Structure 1
Amino acid sequence: MIFSTAANEYMDDKRKRLRATTLEGYESAIRCHLLPRWGEREIETITFEQVQEWVDSFELAGAAEKAYKTFRQIYRWVLRRHQLRIWDVTQGVELPKKPTVRRPTLTAEQERTTLKAIVGQPFEAAVLLGAALGLRRCEACAVRIEDVDWRSGWVHVRRGLHVVKGELVETGCKTKLSNRRLKLPRFALERLRKIRGNRRTGRLCELDPNTLARRFRAFCKRFDLPHVPMTCLRHSWATISLEHGAAIEDIAVALGHTTVNTAMSHYLQSFRTVVARASDSYTAAMEL
């Protein structure tokens, strides 16, 4: 079977059950990386050595991982669907090691400065939700008035808003644990009440995720405000919470992660905070 045919069959099958954003990622990888290299090859003629050489040829480790995992998904799907009795050449392929990336974060003082400065802006609601709850950008844009308990401040995070091929698409949460309830701090709840006004339905922020990010960045640059991308507001929330005493397990639950390891590897910006707290606890015990 020709690889391009296999890729088309795979995508036709997955369109029945995958989110639009996931499909868009697969389509991009297939178009940019897989078809140029494997499109006209017979599945049965591809060797392990060729796959490893292809993976090693990427300059960026992230691109190599995305391309390889998409290739592996299609390859293994074809083996199962067509019951091909050939060796799985994706077994044992080594991916390049990705460099450790520490995303920029805001301190509590910097975040207070920026949140005060954006009062009244059309993107305020989503930025406030992202900063105060550690939401993903797509989640912050998707929060509706009906999702908030306006007395207690509890917010039901249950969907994401994405721009897919120029169209706005609402999807379910990224994972099962991403469907969660979070509590707004009082200052954020009071501000969101004013933003809501007399409305009883609809999204709190009416901008799409891309427009939101663009306008927020431009506003902060124009007025020389402390700024990080919307994604990094999530990192800032985790870092600020951790540095002020929150347990890493609690942070992982609030972020909607399935394991504490995910929170530690992606959102823990300062291990010194955790180690220092553990050291202080030990010291206090020994001084008794």
Structure 2
Amino acid sequence: MATGNRSNRSNGPRRNPNGEGSIYQRASDGRWVGQAYVLTTDGTRKRKAVYGATWQETHDKLTALKAQSRQGIPIPDRAWKLADYLPYWLAGYVADLKPTTARGYESAVRLHLIPALGTKRVDGLQVQHVRTFLDEFRRKCLCCTAGTDKNRPADRQCCSAGRCCAHYPSARQIQFVHAVLRNALQHAMREELVSRNVAKLVRVPSPRYKVGKGLSVEQARTLLAAAEGHRLYALYVVAATMGLRRGELLGLRWSDLDLDNGAVSIAQTVQRAGGKLHLQDTKTEDSESVLPLPDWTWMVLLDHQQDQQRERDRLAEVWEDHDLVFPSERGTPMEPRNLNRHFAALRDKAGLPDVRLHDFRHTVVSLLMELGVPPHVVQAIARHADVKITLKIYAHANLDVMRQALGKLDGRLS
């Protein structure tokens, strides 16, 4: 009596009832093949095949395939590889995003996802593939990957000259690349190309963001005094009293200001992406707000408007009017890096080499909280999406307030 394993049968195809598909063993390589008619993503029923090293493995795969079809879940009609699907996804979906976001997605796909996972089929990608990719990505030098320094002078080259600088990705960069893959696979699920998003099953550590401590009142006054008389003085006053972000400062238009009633609408921002400057809407709906102008800021902006008119008249032949409150010296949107350079010189002049322009924003939050303004009001002024962000900045910035509070406790107990 034969006792051979069913998985090793080689005596011809195994018959199945009509409509249930068939399983047979190929003579060429001995692999088992299972075939059945199933629902596909183009809306028709087509004959699809599964493969296995044994009859049982092939039978299990075929059973799962038919069960998926019976549940009304279409089987992908096209065997997309990630190298083909990701550019297709970018062209159809990411192109509608803001330029800076789209640029980041494109870089993640081109530099990291396609080189590592491009040969994998979308419907064959597994959790282990994603986990292995992220583990290898953590140990990959970004300078080597992007060829960052290949155009530098020879004496300044590192990775291109064979001296790897070991510039490994940060937790934030790992999280971002993972998010790009997760979003692409989620889109593939909506198109019914895959039945699950394997990237969602892989967790990555959340980055720990550092929160700036802000400036003391004395430091803010010192910086503003150093800027007085410069064409950007009003910009620093607005930053110090309104807490606007860098891009919002550079995107502010005169049409956004109601100087009759002392109010400002925050509606657009200037960002650099893909080698170009872009004027675009603010980050979120929470960023779009109408805020009252403090009296001092109001007066400084009125003076700035007159100064800019004189500047425009003097440079009439080259001035390009974009309605910007803080443009370049020709009226065009100011390059964000040029503002950074000016602020770097300003802080050195003021003797404060370690402060950042963004610290003005944290200072506004901290000072308002110290003055007893309710957190939800401060949140509205800072245009934070969550009041927890407002409280986090305040708690991090006010060591002096905490020292005073603990000093009271010390006085009671000592």
Larger Rg: 2
Determine the structure 1 residue equivalent to 2:341: 214
Tell me the C-alpha RMSD between the 2 structures. 2.8
User: Is this contact kept in 1: 2:213–2:397, CA < 8 A?
Assistant: no
Relative to 1, partners in 2 of residues 1:156 and 1:218: Cα closer, same or farther, differing over 3 Å? same
Consecutive unaligned residues of structure 1, counting only runs of 5 or more, are 280-288
Q: TM-score, normalised by structure 2?
A: 0.61
SS at the partner of 1:161?
strand
Cα deviation, 1:103-142, whole Å, max 9, x if unaligned, reads: 2421122111101210232333333222211111111111
The structure-2 alpha-carbon separation of the partners of 1:243 and 1:204, relative to structure 1 and needing over 3 Å to count, comes to: same
Contact 2:123 2:194 in 1 (8 A): no
1:250 and 2:250 are equivalent in the alignment: no
Moved beyond 6 Å, runs of 4+: 271-279
Checking the alignment, whether the CA contact within 8 Å between 1:178 and 1:257 is kept in structure 2 is: yes
* CA distance in structure 1 between the partners assigned to 2:114 and 2:289 by the alignment: 39
- Aligned residue number for residue 287 of structure 2: 178
1:6-37 Cα offsets, whole Å, 9 max, x none, are: 22111111255311121122122223332232
Change (3 A) 1:101 1:28: same
- SS at structure 2 position matched to 1:86: coil
Q: Secondary structure at the match of 2:259?
A: coil
Contact kept? 2:188, 2:194, Cα under 8 Å: no
Aligned residue identity for 2:188: V
Of 244-253 and 155-164, deviating more is 244-253
SS of equivalent to 1:269: helix
Query: Using a 3 Å threshold, how does the CA distance of structure 1 residues 182 and 228 change in structure 2: closer, same or farther?
Result: farther
Q: How has the CA–CA distance of structure 1 residues 15 and 99 changed in structure 2, closer, same or farther, with 3 Å as cutoff?
A: closer
User: Does the 8 Å contact 1:3/1:43 carry over to 2?
Assistant: yes
Equivalent in the alignment of 2:108 = 29
Separation in structure 1 between the aligned mates of residue 276 and residue 104 of structure 2, nearest angstrom:
15
3-state SS of 1:102 partner: coil
Q: Is the 8 A contact 2:226 2:349 kept in 1?
A: no
Are the counterparts in 2 of residues 126 and 205 from structure 1 also a CA contact under 8 Å?
yes
| Identical residues among aligned pairs (%) | 25
**Whole-angstrom CA distance in 1 between matches of 2:204 and 2:291:** 37
| Whole-angstrom CA distance in 2 between matches of 1:32 and 1:231 | 30
For structure 2, list consecutive stretches of 5 or more residues without a partner in the other structure. Answer: 1-79, 139-168, 313-320, 328-333, 407-414
Q: Determine if the alignment matches structure 1 residue 105 to structure 2 residue 179.
A: no
Contact 1:238–1:268, Cα closer than 8 Å, also in 2 = no
2:128 to 35, 39, 49: 49
Contact 2:94 2:105 in 1 (8 A): no
The 5 A counterparts of 1:77-156 are: 77-81=187-191, 83-156=192-265
Cα deviation, residue 68, structure 1: 0.6
Q: Is the 8 A contact 2:271 2:277 kept in 1?
A: yes
Residue correspondences, number: 278
Worse overlay, 65-74 or 147-156: 147-156
Cα gap change, 1:271 to 1:127, in 2 (>3 Å)? closer
- 1:47 CA drift (Å): 1.4
Whole-angstrom CA distance in 2 between matches of 1:221 and 1:172: 33
TM-score, structure 1 length as denominator? 0.85
User: Does the CA contact (< 8 Å) of 2:81 and 2:120 recur in 1?
Assistant: yes
CA contact (8 A) 1:163 1:210 kept: no
Aligned match of 2:387? 260
- 1:76 and 1:106 mapped to 2: Cα distance? 43
More helix by share: 1
- Distance in structure 1 (CA, Å) of the matches to 2:187 and 2:374: 41
Is the Cα–Cα contact under 8 Å of residues 139 and 157 in structure 1 kept in the other structure? Answer: yes
